[in-house]
Amino acid sequence: MQKPLMRIPYTGPLPAPTIIPKDANTPTGAIAALTNFLSAPTSPLLPPSAKATVLLTGAGVSVASGLADYRGTAGTYTLNKSYRPIYYNEFVSNHEARKRYWARSFLGWTNLHKAKPNSAHWAVKELGRRGLISHVITQNVDSFHPMAHPELPTLELHGYLRSLVCIHCGGHLPRKEFQQSLTALNPAWAAFLAKMLQTGALDSEHPDERRKKGLKSNPDGDVDVPNAPYTTFRYPSCPACLARPPMLPDGSSSTVQIDADGAWSQQSTAGVLKPAVVMFGESIAASVKTAAEDAIDSASKILVVGSSLATYSAWRLVKRAKERNMPIGVLNLGGVRGEEGFYTGLAANNDGSAGVRCSESADKILPAVVQNLPCGGVS
């Protein structure tokens, strides 16, 4: 049996980036180094079947779409040292915690839903079309990668926000439908949201801008309104469980009760919906873990974009690539967990072909790399 892989945030200090090669310390130098990295032939240390690059992305790649990130210069962990995301066990076991979570998610969903892929995602599409990228593994839950390049295999390591899953029956529900139910169950909150949208209070995801308006903005569509009456918020039950209450693990029958308006009742023993994301403290499905490892093992190199690798589930994939002697590239603003061990043994005259580390914005650099590359695929 495989050991469960849990999503746990890393809170230790991150090293300052060591730019590799040294002349990749400017946008022009970074573009040249990444061009060399992506177009370099497969290392003789790898099997001939390993041909293309596997891309591993994080929240930094979606910042240009207007979304908040975790550890960037304006990231939640950078500006709000006291921020603590909700953990899986807390969500599953605590009705009040779910009220708070869904109220904040209700406020943040509108902006998240209308956000679109940016130039970095479209550059990835073109790199895939040219055969330079074989797979994308993303930690992001915004669905931008499958939206921008459905033909390029994308593994959503931490799930996605576009739907919900019932923790009792396993059924799925589109988030758009769920949002409509939240609106109907919470007219006062819906009026508050409409006012914020009308006044432009949610127009910016930047934490400083939100703070000026009395809001706290966090990743994954989480908007915190200090001193808000979260306990008044209501959420619906799983419609499948409501129609046919499932059996509980002990073999007994569950009960699903709702109030007069259709909100989930605390007397219920089933029917709880959660976002279809891997929450902190929740295990990643064994099938997803295996698929991510297979994508690494079939590639010739790995390029990390917009991630500090602060979650073990992502960092371990780069560790696996290193153990397979795969060249490693990193395009990320700021430090990356364990990066000091990624580039040991590189030749002094490395031009980026054997490894690259840049600290630049993905939405500016990746499209330029596409323009700089020869029109063909891998060597």
Query: Which residues have a catalytic role annotated?
Result: 158
Distance from C-alpha of 159 to C-alpha of 277, rounded to nearest angstrom = 4
Question: How do beta strands 172-174 and 133-138 pair?
Answer: unpaired
Instruction: Tell me how far CA of residue 272 lies from CA of 78, 166, 170, 238, in angstroms.
Output: 33, 6, 10, 6
* CB 141 within 8 Å of CB 161: yes
Please compute Rg for the chain using Cα positions: 22
Print burial letters for 154-185: b (CB count within 10 Å at least 16), e (below 16): bbbbbbbbbbbbbbbbeeebebeebeebbeeb
Alpha carbon 305 to chain centroid, angstroms? 12
* CB 233 within 8 Å of CB 103: yes
Taking each helix axis as running N to C, give the angle between helix 175-185 and helix 187-199, from 0 to 180 degrees, rounded to the nearest 10: 110
Distance from C-alpha of 229 to C-alpha of 227, rounded to nearest angstrom = 6
Distance from C-alpha of 336 to C-alpha of 17, rounded to nearest angstrom = 7
Question: How do beta strands 154-156 and 159-166 pair?
Answer: unpaired
| Contacts (Cβ under 8 Å, ≥6 apart) of 137 | 54, 55, 56, 57, 154, 155, 157, 292, 295, 314, 317
Question: Which spans in 152-186 are helix H?
Answer: 175-185
Whether cis (ω within 30° of 0) applies to the bond prior to 21 is yes
